[in-house]
Amino acid sequence: MNSHDHNAFDSPRTAAEQGTRPDLSSLHVREDVAMAGRCGNVHLPTGRTCTLPARHPASCHFVEPDDAEHVVAQ
Ligand SMILES: [Zn+2]
């Protein structure tokens, strides 16, 4: 993006600099969900949990805590 960076000091931050991995910066893993073989990442600001299979390739898909409970109970 900034290969032609003639004004580095005054350049506004790029999106890449601001959020290298925003999906990982505020995460925590819910153990019960992880033990069920799921990703279990929790999005702390919302309290939602990812119930996709562990080590799923794409980004996390967060669901409501109640929905996560159902997945764990399966
Ligand atoms: Zn996930």
Whole-angstrom distance, CA of residue 38 vs CA of residue 29: 10
CA of residue 10 to ligand 1 center, whole Å: 37
- Contact between 27 and 15 under an 8 Å Cβ cutoff? The reply is no
What pLDDT sits at residue 23? 54
- 38, with CB counted inside 10 A (0-12, 13-18, 19+), is buried
More confident residue, 2 or 30: 30
10-67 residue pLDDT tens = 656 554 445 555 555 555 899 999 999 999 999 988 999 999 999 999 999 999 999 9
What pLDDT sits at residue 74? 75
The residues placing their C-beta within 5 Å of ligand 1, an ion, are 39, 41, 50, 52, 60
For the entire predicted model, the pTM comes to 0.62
Closest CA to 22 of 55, 68, 59: 59
CA angle 38, 50, 29 (to 5 degrees): 75
Neighbours of 20 (CB within 10 A): 9
CA of residue 3 to ligand 1 center, whole Å: 33
